[in-house]
Amino acid sequence: MYDMATRQHAVALHESGLTISEVSRATGVSRFSVREWTIRITPSPLMTAECPVRSGTLSTDRPRADYAYLLGLYLGDGCISEGRGGVHALRIACGNAWPGLIDECARAVTAVLPTNGVSRVSAPGCTSVVSTSKHWPCLFPQHGPGPKHLRRISLTAWQQQIVAEHPWELLRGLIHSDGCRITNWATRTVAGQSKRYEYPRYFFTNTSADIVRIFTGTLDTLGVEWKVAARSNGAVNVSVARRASVALMDEHIGPKY
Ligand SMILES: [Zn+2]
């Protein structure tokens, strides 16, 4: 027997646009059961769940930090699609190379919307963390048709307030989705001895000039120095390479895991 939360979650995934087979794979529930539930327990109770933006449940501290992190992930690798009956699916694409980040993404989604289930949908090389709710467009008003780099992305006043309170969480989300930390090394001869020097750096790449501005503007408020390392095919690659700035980034972000 499956509990009601599992049933509701499966139905909500189906309403968000996943096929019966995809819901079955994501939840581990048989296709037969999923099909039964979509007939018997619609409409989904998500339709009446309280709005976290209007009801002010984002006003306690921890969900605000989680929200800032999730906002970074959404701006980097997230999308919101509309399904039936006003239910929207938030999908964050996570690379399978970093299983810890998949867990952290799912944890942040749960913290922001605790009453809604979270699924992992596998595709070659990546796992999408998927959550359905009527309120994702309220939580991420940047939602809109088409890719993010073809539309204007600006944060609302309440989002800017959260980012001002938790700037490192936003940056962590952005680096975890569209960034990385890499270590270059070089050898130098000092007093006749060959020594190896390591140069860790952070990179962030995005095709939306607005999202790049949100990233670099937040770095500026924290005193992290950055520069544009490259531009190609409309993508801007920002690097943080100065030693003191990398040390700050390491203290709050670190390598992906
Ligand atoms: Zn809402």
How does residue 43 score in pLDDT terms, banded at 50, 70 and 90?
very low
Rounded CA gap, 180 and 202, in Å? 6
Supply the pLDDT for residue 236: 96
Contact 15, 87 (CB under 8 A): yes
As a whole number, the mean pLDDT across the chain is 90
Supply the pLDDT for residue 40: 67
Rounded CA gap, 88 and 179, in Å? 27
Supply the pLDDT for residue 144: 87
Contact 181, 251 (CB under 8 A): no
Q: Hunting for tokens 């581990």 — which residue is that?
A: 28
Strand 88-95 vs strand 78-82: parallel, antiparallel, or unpaired?
antiparallel
Contact 78, 137 (CB under 8 A): no
The distance from CA 247 to its chain's CA centroid, rounded to whole angstroms, is: 24
Close Cβ partners of 168 (under 8 Å, ≥ 6 residues apart): 222, 252, 253
Q: Find the 238 Cα to ligand 1 centroid distance in Å.
A: 34
Q: Find the 55 Cα to ligand 1 centroid distance in Å.
A: 9
Q: Find the 158 Cα to ligand 1 centroid distance in Å.
A: 14
Q: Is the pTM of this model over 0.85?
A: no
Q: Find the 80 Cα to ligand 1 centroid distance in Å.
A: 14
Q: Find the 32 Cα to ligand 1 centroid distance in Å.
A: 32
- Given a cut of 90, whether residue 253 has pLDDT beyond it is yes
Q: Find the 140 Cα to ligand 1 centroid distance in Å.
A: 10
Q: For the residues 119-142, what does the mean pLDDT come to?
A: 93
